[in-house]
């Protein structure tokens, strides 16, 4: 195996899929850290809107999949608004079930909810456009991450993606044996899934160690390129975000 890419092999796919995974990780972290200091609803709304447009334009998600991916973040955001609305001090706008809903609580809750939606949409776009293998190779080559951690992340990702299939298998086996009360059966399925995941993680760790993971330099086939286009992409994204922060 060599450390060079085969002649004629070029990155393919959508605009975001062609970008270097390490650059995308850096931008994702930058956006997430920046939002920690934002409470302006208009700025957060603009950034979220641009994130939605960018995800639709640069990935293969499509509107339906993006809406479905938003569902957990919307539920989390509703919880943030509800909790902050009744726990933040300030003049009461209305009383619901004996609890005062304050203007400051609604404002902070809405800001936190928009923050969750913004981080959610950029995270979904990142996951939809970044194959785990390319991410692992890029992190080891461009971010200088130890292969010990990079391969562990890859193995963990594959275990997580396999969990829905394992869950379906466990529930099918329970149905074959005969149905009992729904809640106890589901609880036993959760325990079975957890035990299987722990045992699988142990086997994976032993397999990685037996193959000399982290014992020295490793070569790869089909390296992930880092080009000037990735630099342009990073400048454009940071420039647009900076313009929104400055003028929204």
DSSP string of 82-99? HHHHHHS-S-EEEEETTE
DSSP 193: H
pLDDT (0 to 100) of residue 214: 58
DSSP calls for 103-172: HHHHHHHHHHHHHHHHHHHHHHHHHHH--HHHHHHHHHHTS---HHHHHHHHHHHHHHHHHHHHHHHHHH
How would residue 2 be classed by pLDDT, with cut points 50, 70 and 90? very low
The pTM of the full predicted model, rounded to 2 decimals, is: 0.77
- The answer on pLDDT for 183 being more than 90 is no
User: pLDDT for 61-74, tens place per residue?
Assistant: 889 999 998 888 99
User: In this structure, what are the phi and psi dihedrals at residue 172, rounded to the nearest 5 degrees?
Assistant: -65, -40
Q: Tokens 């909790």 appear where?
A: 83
Q: Which two tokens stand for residue 112?
A: 């936190």
- The answer on pLDDT for 23 being more than 90 is yes
User: pLDDT for 192-244, tens place per residue?
Assistant: 888 888 888 788 777 777 766 655 666 777 788 889 999 999 999 999 988 88
Closest residue by Cα to residue 115 from 44, 54, 169: 44
Q: What is the CA radius of gyration of the chain?
A: 23
Give 162 or 180, the one with higher predicted confidence.
162
User: pLDDT for 72-86, tens place per residue?
Assistant: 899 999 999 988 888
Q: How many CB atoms lie within 10 A of CB 83?
A: 14
Give 220 or 49, the one with higher predicted confidence.
49
Give 168 or 215, the one with higher predicted confidence.
168
User: pLDDT for 91-150, tens place per residue?
Assistant: 777 777 777 788 888 888 999 999 999 999 999 999 888 888 888 888 888 888 887 788
């Amino acid at each position: 195996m060599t450390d060079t890419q085969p002649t004629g092999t070029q990155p393919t796919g959508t605009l975001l899929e062609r970008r270097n995974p390490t650059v995308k990780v850096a931008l994702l972290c930058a956006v997430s850290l920046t939002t920690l200091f934002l409470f302006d609803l208009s700025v957060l709304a603009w950034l979220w809107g641009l994130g939605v447009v960018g995800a639709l334009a640069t990935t293969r998600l499509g509107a339906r999949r993006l809406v479905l991916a938003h569902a957990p973040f919307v539920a989390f955001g509703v919880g943030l608004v509800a909790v902050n609305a009744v726990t933040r001090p300030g003049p009461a706008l209305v009383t619901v079930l004996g609890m005062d809903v304050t203007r400051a609580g609604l404002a902070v809750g809405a800001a936190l909810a928009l923050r969750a939606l913004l981080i959610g949409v950029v995270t979904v776009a990142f996951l939809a456009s970044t194959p785990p293998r390319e991410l692992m190779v890029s992190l080891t080559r461009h971010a200088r991450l130890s292969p010990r951690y990079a391969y562990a992340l890859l193995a963990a990702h594959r275990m997580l993606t396999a969990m829905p299939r394992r869950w379906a298998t466990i529930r099918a086996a329970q149905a074959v044996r005969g149905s009992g009360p729904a809640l106890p059966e589901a609880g036993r399925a959760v325990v079975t899934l957890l035990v299987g995941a722990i045992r699988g993680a142990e086997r994976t760790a032993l397999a990685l160690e037996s193959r000399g993971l982290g014992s020295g330099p490793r070569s790869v086939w089909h390296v992930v390129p880092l080009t000037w286009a990735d630099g342009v992409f990073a400048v454009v994204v940071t420039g647009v975000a900076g313009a929104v922060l400055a003028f929204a």
